[in-house]
Homo-oligomer: A and B are copies of this chain.
Amino acid sequence: MEKESNFAEWYIEAIDRAGIVDRRYPVKGMNVWMPYGLRLMRLINGFMRDEMARTGHEEVQFPVLVPEDQFQKEADHIKGFGANVYWVTHGGLNPLDVRLLLRPTSEAAMYSLYSLWIRAHTDLPLRLYQIAPVFRYETRQTRTFIRVRELSFFFESHTAHENFDGAEEQIREDLEIWEHLARKYALPALFNKRPDWDKFAGAHYTVGVDAYVAAPGRAMQVASIHQYRDNFARVYDVTFEDRRGERQYAHQTTYGISERVLGAEVAIHGDDRGLILPPEIAPIQVVVIPILAKGAKGRILAEARAFEGEIADKVRTELDVREMRPGAKFYEWERKGVPLRVELGLDEIEGDHVTLVRRDGTRRRKVSRADAPKRIQAMLDRIQRDLYRKAERELREGIHTIDAYGDAPPKGIIRAGWCGKESCGLAMEDKLNRGMLGTPYFGEEFRGRCLECGDATDTVAYAANSY
């Protein structure tokens, strides 16, 4: 399977061969999480939970079903999602009095409770999150982890604040959280303030967190953050008594991250041999493979077992003692993206060393038996950093700054001046044949002209094809 020449097929094959999900479930766009995939996703989610604990968010879990009347309250919200929700109309043989829908996201489910929980400024900020399934009736072609009908592990945090500035501060913290996650996931990304025509239904503005998949030259939104101002608070009556005793609407934000993160791991780090997992999220960080030789089987197995035992309290390991050719084992663990392989046979025992092979390389290195445990940890750290850096370089090299349409390369991200007018933005989308990712959230030093109208501007915009 060749990643560069046929990315779409490669992507699916890489997932299938790694045993992350089984796509043969009889509803398209809904997948079965296999043990290896579930462990992987749990590690990914674990870092989100760590960040939430660090920043003082608390975890809750809301019901999956939302009554239609709650959902209807936010008209903009419906415009965005109404065509894409699954409707529960019957219980048993009886039509329901109030139809229920499977939440596509949880604003409508949560905010009627927020209006009960929030009474006074002392209840704020309220910062809650959940990691739970959401559902979207996708009519477009589905793609595993990227566009699905059940997002099995949707992270969403929902915060409420005394005022706009409090919500703005939250968004800056959310982006800092991503910077931490990005190191764990080895997924550097751009923070783009989406153009108004592409913001989330009901939001004051939306920030997209865009990673970059070099092979097809496309952006992939892996997270999104929304400043709601008091838009939802007005609809769901989320009010509080402020310090002066006056009733005010709360200002709210949300932060969403889905299993797209896992899609990005596959798409960005994988190679023709399959997945390459960053050690921080790898369910198995090190696989130990005994290379059995005639007459020394017992001795080699005992040695491999002893070695695995020595490292197992520091790293996540697997000892593969199955009756198979070593080559077939190598191939299988490579497909699963295990970052580091240890080979241990007669040569190694006699030479008092072990052989280490990084998944993100091919070089075999002999490391003295005594040093190996420490060296393994250092190598995992190194792999983690190298994967991050490689993705960062690909992202940087994928961005092309242009000042004329003719200079746009066939793929990659375009960076160009934009006067800010919607008409110019839409024209740029059209002529570049790319969607507008938006303008950098933290700004960028720029002096140039709008790619479309030629007016002088100090604003730069990014555009790309996106997943």
Q: Of residues 181 to 230 in A, which have CB atoms within 8 Å of B's CB atoms?
A: none
Residue numbers in B under 8 Å from A65 (CB-CB): 27, 30, 86, 135, 150
Residue numbers in B under 8 Å from A66 (CB-CB): 27
| Interface check A446, CB cutoff 8 A | no
Residue numbers in B under 8 Å from A112 (CB-CB): 25-26
Partner of A33, one of B31, B60, B88, B139: B60
Residue numbers in B under 8 Å from A24 (CB-CB): 113, 116
Q: Are A62 and B93 in contact (CB under 8 A)?
A: no
Q: Are A61 and B33 in contact (CB under 8 A)?
A: yes
Give the complex CA separation of A139 and B58 in angstroms: 33
Give the complex CA separation of A88 and B60 in angstroms: 26
* A 1-37 binary contact with B (CB < 8 Å = 1; else 0): 0000000000000000000001011110011111100
Partner of A26, one of B60, B67, B135: B67
Residue numbers in B under 8 Å from A58 (CB-CB): 35
Closest chain B CB from A326 CB (angstroms) = 21
From A110, which residue of chain B is reached at the shortest CB distance? Answer: B32
Q: Are A64 and B133 in contact (CB under 8 A)?
A: yes
Copy number of this protein in the oligomer? 2
Q: Are B59 and A35 in contact (CB under 8 A)?
A: yes
Q: Are A60 and B32 in contact (CB under 8 A)?
A: yes
Listed by A's residue number, 29 A-B pairs whose Cβ atoms lie within 8 Å are A25-B63, A25-B113, A26-B70, A27-B65, A27-B100, A32-B61, A32-B63, A32-B113, A33-B60, A34-B60, A35-B60, A63-B150, A63-B152, A64-B102, A64-B135, A64-B150, A82-B92, A83-B93, A86-B88, A86-B90, A86-B91, A86-B100, A87-B88, A87-B90, A88-B88, A88-B102, A89-B89, A89-B90, A92-B139
| Interface check A467, CB cutoff 8 A | no
* A 90-102 binary contact with B (CB < 8 Å = 1; else 0): 1111000000101
| Interface check A377, CB cutoff 8 A | no
- The residues of A with any CB-CB pair to B shorter than 8 Å are 22, 24-27, 30-35, 38-39, 58-67, 69-70, 82-93, 100, 102, 109, 112-113, 116, 128, 133, 135, 137, 139, 150, 152
Q: Are A92 and B85 in contact (CB under 8 A)?
A: yes
From A39, which residue of chain B is reached at the shortest CB distance? Answer: B59
From A34, which residue of chain B is reached at the shortest CB distance? Answer: B60
Q: Are A92 and B137 in contact (CB under 8 A)?
A: yes
Give the complex CA separation of A220 and B150 in angstroms: 34
Closest chain B CB from A161 CB (angstroms) = 19
Give the complex CA separation of A32 and B24 in angstroms: 33
From A35, which residue of chain B is reached at the shortest CB distance? Answer: B58
